[in-house]
Amino acid sequence: MQARRVAQHWLTLDGDGALQTQIVRALRTAILRGELPPGHRLPSTRTLARELEVSRTTSQHAYEQLLTEGYLEARRGSATRVASTLDPVASTPDEAAPPSSPALSAYGQRLSEGAFGYPYRAFAEQELARFELLYGLPDHRAFPLDAWRKALTDAARHATPRALSYGEPEGTESLRQAIARHILSARGVRCHPDQIIVVAGVQQALALVARLLLDPGDRVVLEEPGYLGARAAFASAGARLVPAPVDEQGIDVTAVPRRTRCRLVYVTPSHQFPTGRIMSLSRRQMLLSWAAGQDACIFEDDYDGELRYEGRPIETLYALDGGHRVIFAGTFSKTLFPSLRIGYIVVPPSLVDVVRAAKWTSDWSCPNLEQVALTSFIESGDFARHLRRSRLRYASKRRALLEELTLALGGLSHQVDWQVGGGAAGLHIVLWLPKTSPRELARIVVRARALDVGIYSIAPYYLGEPRSGLLIGYGLLDEASLREAIRRLGRAIRADGTPRAAERRPR
């Protein structure tokens, strides 16, 4: 720190950066503090240079910058002075009271007061375990990176001026056509490409629908337990959340009080999140009939409906309904990779224009080059081949997981009551532990982490009293690592930490 007396005033150069920058910062601070008041005469650049022991060029450049910024004023034949129009503040930056926060809107207040933060922050803030059973993430090793890299390279190499300009809010026409063909073949969803809106994942679709269909106070039926992202999107829009229990056949809307009028119901019928249950046909028909009686829309989240390993693909609500009151949402996050951030919704024709407008006001459009690359990836057959291989790979992992759970916990029925939940689909199962207390479940998670196993409770996905269960994802690990993870999890559940004889035998 260097202090110099300059024309009846002490300037302190803080030693941070070039001398010219330090002089500018010192003079600016003195002016804003009121120590050099409006109209105050400053020394000449020659005097300033001599007293600060710098070159005259440095002092000239410092004055020029402050003149440009409006802190100083100068007239020909007159001294340089502090600008007379400035209104200096009375306190120093260190002494100033913290600025008050801007007043929030009602929407901002709801976000501020509610638990609507990023639901996976806990995962992001800790390192993945060596044997990570985090659910909902695909196997990156199985992704055909070379084919995707070629699609991206070709998209960039042959990019037209239009592809490099602002995109259409609803997505490129070629991608919407490719998606329409794919979901007709894979999910039985028959729609015109104009009904498809390309979005930045299902979460953006939820936010758009909430803004368009819900007013504060409107009721939304949610699965219990259910997806946190849907809960956050609707609650932050001011909706009143109405939980409906999920049983072996899926959501039971008959549990909703009869006189409760609802505007929207959110469901994951093809692989309920997080329980993994499949909604039966009778429940699907019941839900459609109930929604018609309520004049309510249905948001069908088909987040991993393409990853089914046994039996025929489950018919979508959209196909059963004909697209009259069902909004169908899909994503490439599970079939390709999450950071792609491309999903889609199929909306009734009457909603196309308003959803398109809402998408434009949200972020204008999704990135064009990635859309071009994805179109090529689908039309070349690479996507279909990847899906077939992924189904085989995940089905094999799931079998290994269930086999190892039987070995690890099969002899513990007298100590631990356990069942496996989740249909033969998706990227996770639920290990239900009905007689395990919440406190003991938390201890199991801690013991597993000590054994290098990342495991997570199902409890956060309940609005009401949760059941005891652990979500086990099998997307990230190979089969050998998955088996070792379950052996270690078995030790964490048994609490003694010792391997069973079955675990010690060579494999």
pLDDT band at residue 499, thresholds of 50, 70 and 90?
A: low
Pair 354, 413 in one domain? no
Q: In the prediction, which pLDDT does 505 show? A: 43
CATH code of the domain in which 27 resides? 1.10.10.10
In this structure, is residue 88 part of a structural domain? Answer: no
- The residue among 33, 54, 82 that closes a domain is 82
Q: Which of 335, 351, 384 is a domain's end point?
A: 384
pTM over 0.75: yes
Q: What are phi and psi of 264, to 5 degrees?
A: -155, 150
Pair 159, 269 in one domain: yes
- 494 contacts: CB under 8 Å, gap ≥ 6: 412, 415, 416
Residue ending a domain, among 351, 384, 417, is 384
What pLDDT is stored for residue 442 in this prediction?
94
The amino acid at 268:
T
Q: Residue 343's closest CA among 153, 206, 211, 236? A: 206
Is position 191 within any domain? yes
Domain match, 363 and 450 both: no
Reported as a pLDDT band with limits 50, 70 and 90, residue 94 is: low
Q: How many CB atoms lie within 10 A of CB 257?
A: 7
Considering the domain boundaries, does residue 307 fall inside one?
A: yes
Q: Could you tell me which of 138, 129, 137, 144 has the C-alpha nearest to residue 481? A: 129
List pLDDT tens digits, range 153-198. 999 999 999 889 999 999 999 999 999 999 999 999 999 999 999 9
Cα–Cα distance for residue pair 18/200, rounded to 1 Å:
45
The C-alpha atoms of residue 290 and residue 301 are separated, in whole angstroms, by 18
Taking a C-beta distance cutoff of 8 angstroms, is the pair 365, 358 a contact?
no
Check residue 412 and give its pLDDT: 63
Domain with 438, as residue range(s), is: 388-504
261 Cβ contact list (under 8 Å, min separation 6)? 219, 294
Predicted confidence (pLDDT) at residue 479 exceeds the cutoff of 50: yes
Instruction: Identify whether residues 343 and 452 lie together within a single domain.
Output: no
State the pLDDT confidence band at 507, using cuts at 50, 70 and 90.
very low
On whether both 43 and 151 belong to a single domain, the answer is no
Residue 504's pLDDT is 45
Asked whether residue 253 falls in the same domain as residue 373, the answer is yes
Gap between the Cα atoms of 282 and 252, Å rounded:
11
Q: Do 422 and 450 belong to one domain?
A: yes
* Amino acid at the residue 31: I
| DSSP tag of 358 | H
Alpha carbons 84 and 77: distance in angstroms, whole number = 18
The tally of domains found in the chain comes to 3
CATH code where residue 366 lies: 3.40.640.10
Domain match, 375 and 392 both: no
Q: How far apart are CA 346 and CA 352, in angstroms?
A: 9
Q: Report yes or no: 453 and 492 within 8 Å, Cβ to Cβ.
A: yes
Do 369 and 325 belong together in one domain? yes
Q: Where are the alpha helices (DSSP H) in 159-296?
A: 173-187, 202-213, 228-236, 281-294
Instruction: Specify whether 490 is located in the same domain as 371.
Output: no
Q: Are residues 41 and 158 in the same domain?
A: no
